[in-house]
Amino acid sequence: MVELVLTINDKDGSYTEHAAVVLASIFSKTEQTIRVHIVHDDSLSEESKLKLTQMVDVFHHNILFYHVTIPGDMQEVAAGVHKIDYWTMASMYRLLLPIIIQTERVIYLDCDILVNMDINELWSVDLGDRYLGAVLDQGENLLEYFTSMGLSAELYFNSGVILFHLDNIRKKENWYGEMLNFLRNFPKMTMPDQDVLNAVYSCNYLQLDQCFNTFAKNELDLEHKIIHFAGDSKWWDADSPHAELYNNFRAMTPWGWGGGYAPEPVFEPVQANIPVNPPAPEVQFPEPPVHEVQLLAPPVQEIQPPAPPIQEIPVAEAPAPPPDCIPVKRRYRRKLRRTLRLRRRLRRKKIIRARYRSIKRARLIKYRYVRRSILKLRRKKLRTVRRRKHVIKHLSLRKSRTSLKRKHKRKLYKAG
């Protein structure tokens, strides 16, 4: 069984849709059974979870959700990194996969990825005693940036597609402490998660072929590759040359079904070539369980990776395809309409509040302007009065001095 992990931070409501399109591209090309691990925070809604579950069930795969809280010491150190607000705190999730996911190996993918090949080819790569497998970064040459942090430009890999050997990482002493130290020592890094992974694991990793993580360009051969739309231009943008391909895969997700179910896949999934055998009691669940993963940081003085007892994750067998039940579809449509109505009401309320605040703000600005003008006039009058008093006083003093001089001259004249 192929183990696949995606991390989701969905503040604007669109990131889960992109993750579903990534899964659709994988399911359309892969014949093996896939167990999808979704690592998320509070921003993932129950409606999005339901849609992901429905999609994975239709393609006869498994899905597990992990609600994660970042350890306090890592959260405190990561908060000092300048670019953490741009990448969000969820970028730290891939650093904690050895704690969150209790399997031997796992494939990590970003959500701006197109998989146009059988993912089992990546899963079948033998890592041996290495920590991970990744592709060299294809970005601009930042030699000064790498050397300032002690990183090797010749070994620097991209973290968008990574095959993790979690058991080998768990055997590495002080891997968690090394991450904390690097975050603490280089707060001006521009790509926190990728830089940390390179600092800790680039000494012992397998360089994969570029077909497993090819950066997207306008004119690009997509055949038999994993395409990474790194940078600001994404394939879901309307002006992207790959937007039509994105919409084709989107039609295979609940966001493109229009309230119904997608067509059945052409093939039945089979077991992968390299089986992974995590402890799994034979217990069936009606729906995938949701796990609260509370990560505990190791003591500061030892800086050792935490090893809390994590509950074994039961693996449900591949569920049967959902029945063609018209009431369920209608109920789903009613729920969707209700959600849209609530969104429209909230939008109207926000507009009304914004208008009220703008009117109130304009009145306040006008009041402050008038008051400032009045105060200026008062100060001007006060300065004028003070000047007049000063002039009068000065003139009176000159007059008194002149009169005294004249009296003195008269006395001298009479005496002479």
Tens digit of each residue's pLDDT (9 = 90 or more) over 301-339? 344 444 444 444 444 444 444 444 434 445 666 777 778
Q: What is the percent of the chain where pLDDT is above 70?
A: 80
Q: Mean pLDDT over residues 391-408, rounded?
A: 74
What is the CATH number for 77? 3.90.550.10
If one compares 163 and 293, the residue with the highest pLDDT of the two is 163
Helix boundaries (H) for 28-155: 46-58, 72-78, 84-87, 97-100, 120-123, 143-148
As beta bridge partners, residue 63 has 36
Q: Is residue 198 part of a domain?
A: yes
pLDDT score at 308: 44
Specify the range with the lowest mean pLDDT, choosing from 32-36, 173-177, 238-242, 317-321: 317-321
pLDDT score at 129: 94
Q: Is residue 127 part of a domain?
A: yes
Q: pTM value?
A: 0.65
Confidence of residue 127 (pLDDT cuts 50, 70, 90): very high
DSSP string covering 127-177: -TT-SEEE-B--S---HHHHHHTT--TTT-B-SSEEEEEHHHHHHSTTHHH
Question: Rounded to an integer, what distance in angstroms lies between the CA atom of residue 19 and that of residue 110?
Answer: 8
If one compares 358 and 41, the residue with the highest pLDDT of the two is 41
Say how many domains are in the chain.
1
Is there a contact between 190 and 145 (Cβ–Cβ < 8 Å)?
A: yes
Q: Is residue 326 part of a domain?
A: no
As beta bridge partners, residue 215 has 228
Q: Is residue 383 part of a domain?
A: no
pLDDT score at 5: 96
Question: Rounded to an integer, what distance in angstroms lies between the CA atom of residue 33 and that of residue 28?
Answer: 12
- How many Cα atoms occupy the beta-carbon half-sphere of 31 within 13 Å? 6
Confidence of residue 186 (pLDDT cuts 50, 70, 90): very high
- The answer for 259, left when phi > 0, alpha when psi is -120 to 50, beta otherwise, is left
The 3-state DSSP class for residue 65 equals strand
Kindly calculate the radius of gyration of the chain based on its CA atoms and give it in whole angstroms. 34
The yes-or-no verdict on residue 52 having pLDDT over 70 is yes
Helix axes of 15-27 and 243-250: crossing angle, nearest 10 degrees: 80
Question: Rounded to an integer, what distance in angstroms lies between the CA atom of residue 233 and that of residue 241?
Answer: 10
Confidence of residue 270 (pLDDT cuts 50, 70, 90): very low
The yes-or-no verdict on residue 96 having pLDDT over 60 is yes
Residue-wise pLDDT tens digits, 229-243: 887 778 888 778 788
Q: What is the percent of the chain where pLDDT is above 90?
A: 38
The yes-or-no verdict on residue 284 having pLDDT over 60 is no
Q: Is residue 80 part of a domain?
A: yes
The yes-or-no verdict on residue 266 having pLDDT over 60 is no
DSSP 8-state code for residue 59: T
Q: Is residue 394 part of a domain?
A: no
Q: Is residue 97 part of a domain?
A: yes
Question: Rounded to an integer, what distance in angstroms lies between the CA atom of residue 415 and that of residue 95?
Answer: 110
Expressed as residue numbers, the domain containing 117 is 2-321
Q: Is residue 267 part of a domain?
A: yes
Is there a contact between 165 and 126 (Cβ–Cβ < 8 Å)?
A: no
DSSP string covering 180-247: HHHHHH-TT-SSHHHHHHHHHHGGGEEEPPGGGSEEP-SS---TTEEEE--SS--TTSTT-TTHHHHH
Question: Rounded to an integer, what distance in angstroms lies between the CA atom of residue 116 and that of residue 258?
Answer: 25
Strand order in the sheet with 214-215: 113-116, 225-228, 214-215
If one compares 352 and 255, the residue with the highest pLDDT of the two is 255
The yes-or-no verdict on residue 347 having pLDDT over 50 is yes
Q: Mean pLDDT over residues 72-94, rounded?
A: 88
Amino acid at 71: P
